Amino acid sequence: MTVLPDLGHALSSVSSQVFTKRFFIYPKVLHTVVVENTGYDFEDNKTMLTRFERNVTGTLARQLLVILLGLVSGIILARVLGPEGNGLYTLSILLPTVLSTFLNLGAAPANVYFIGRGTVDVRNALFANLWLWLILSALGIMVGAIIIWSRGDVFFPGVPRPLLWGGVAVFPLVLLQAFLISILQGKQDFRRFNTVSIIAPCVMLVLFLALVWGLSMGVPGALLAYGLGYLVALVLTIRAVWVHCQSDIRGLSQRLYAKQCIGYGWKAHLSNILAFVNYRADIFLINFFLTPALTGIYVIAVQIAERLWLLSQAVSTVLLPRLSELYQDEKKRNHLTQVIARWVFLATFFAAVSIVLVAKPLIVLLFGSKYINATGALIWLLPGIVLGSLSRILSNDIAARGKPELNMYVAFFVVSVNIIANIILIPMMGINGAALATTIAYLLNAVAKLYLYTRLSGNMWWQPLLLDKTDIALILQRVKAVHRSIF
């Protein structure tokens, strides 16, 4: 297949559903635009582009469906269990969530990277992950037991210990599901990846209705539904992964891959932990300096703003294994990253502008007039959210080059800046100060990622940001086509 030196330009419409209603509707127009600007034929790449678009669209649709299922489940639990019961359920599943976040050692991103590159076959990756899972599960259960026995009343006051033990019992299921689903992501099998990703929330919703609402089993029933949801999803995920175990690819042995996995994964893992701290430091500090009520108002602004990350998250899920696969084709990888980055950045920017225009009435409509003060914080957050979408794409490029430690170093710096800025600005500006501090941190993160990307790729810093003449030509052609269809 002919390699496009400007493949990125041809991909201009795959990043956002705003511009992606199958741009092959206008094949002659796009073929002319791409050939005139790159000198290469677009047609040979149609299959690959269609696949990338389909994967992004499917992943985005899955994310939206999971959000909807979670919303319905949350409403059911809130209404049936009441505030106290809902709080007990939330706290009982907090322990397995925290344990899986801090004890996964970055095996999932390592799987995506090495399987995407073809360094290891699925069978060896699977069994290496099972060995890691056994060790980490034992460690996590021990840590959970120590926490419950020694500090259970301190960390989880008012939560019955049987519920905490039930949460710890679910931890191995949560951990293994995260490991195995990343194998499907590494193989770029997004049909199965997205399918098994919605199994757990679907099963949970059905069991919440049956056990909590129908049989009135209360919080224990909700926790049982949570565990069974992950168990069913895990069984189906194992079946989906096993399909790829017949691969002819041969690579690292199980023992060697486990070492490679940990060697790469801990860097990505620490970076993810720091990102988690960065996302939530402002909430903790608002509660420290101000009041729980203002914290609740700020959380509303955060929840609305972070919905704009759905596109960049969906694209990143598809992009990382693809970039890892292209490690021997630097030119194609460079063009792919820059065009995806600028179109995700552009789409998120316009979405943010739309939110600004309707922020106040939207908040009042959805949450009531008591939350109207979230408007200012939301507006201060949005520039950082837009920059964060760009940073996420560039972070995937850096990780796909086998340099996750660079993301980790930047994360250390950004978290430090975020905490210091919050400490300074919250007493001065309240929740708006927290939002501004977060945006400053995201700005510095984007600048650092742009610098690293340009050094690693050899591209200019503005290429992932600014539209070029091919992008503009595609936009003009789409506008004209829409105009003709209307008038």
Q: What digits encode the pLDDT tens for the residues 329-373?
A: 888 888 888 888 988 999 999 999 999 999 999 888 878 888 889
Count Cα atoms within 13 angstroms, Cβ side, for 360. Answer: 3
Q: Are 387 and 313 in contact (CB under 8 A)?
A: no
Highest average pLDDT, of 120-124, 169-173, 473-477, comes from: 169-173
- By mean pLDDT, which of 140-144, 253-257, 395-399, 429-433 is the weakest? 253-257
Amino acid found at 462: W
Q: What is the pLDDT of residues 108-153, one digit of tens each?
A: 999 999 998 888 889 889 999 999 999 999 999 999 999 999 988 8
Cβ within 8 Å of residue 341, ≥6 positions away: 390, 393, 394, 464, 465
Q: Are 279 and 415 in contact (CB under 8 A)?
A: no
Single out the residue of 377, 383, 381, 384 nearest to residue 360, CA to CA: 377
Amino acid found at 124: N
Q: Are 167 and 92 in contact (CB under 8 A)?
A: yes
- By mean pLDDT, which of 22-26, 169-173, 223-227, 350-354 is the weakest? 22-26
247: left (phi over 0), alpha (psi -120 to 50) or beta: beta
Domain boundaries defined on the chain: 54-252, 271-487
Q: What is the pLDDT of residues 200-240, one digit of tens each?
A: 999 999 999 999 999 999 999 999 999 999 999 999 999 99
Q: How much is the average pLDDT of 87-106?
A: 87
Q: How much is the average pLDDT of 444-454?
A: 95
**pLDDT band per the 50, 70, 90 thresholds, residue 48:** low
Q: How much is the average pLDDT of 49-58?
A: 79
Q: How much is the average pLDDT of 461-468?
A: 82
**pLDDT band per the 50, 70, 90 thresholds, residue 39:** very low
Decide if pLDDT at 181 tops 90.
yes
- Tell me how far apart the 2 most distant CA atoms of the chain are, in Å: 72
The reported pTM is 0.79
Q: Does residue 458 sit in helix, strand or coil?
A: coil
Single out the residue of 400, 305, 310 nearest to residue 56, CA to CA: 310
Q: What is the pLDDT of residues 77-90, one digit of tens each?
A: 888 888 788 888 88
Decide if pLDDT at 289 tops 80.
yes
Amino acid found at 217: M
Decide if pLDDT at 314 tops 70.
yes
Secondary structure tally for the chain: helices H, strands E: 17, 0
Per-residue confidence (pLDDT) for residue 218, from 0 to 100: 92
Per-residue confidence (pLDDT) for residue 157, from 0 to 100: 81
Check residues 324 and 21 and name the one with the higher pLDDT. Answer: 324
Q: Encoding tokens for residue 104?
A: 């996964």
- CA 414, 94, 184, 137 dihedral sign is positive
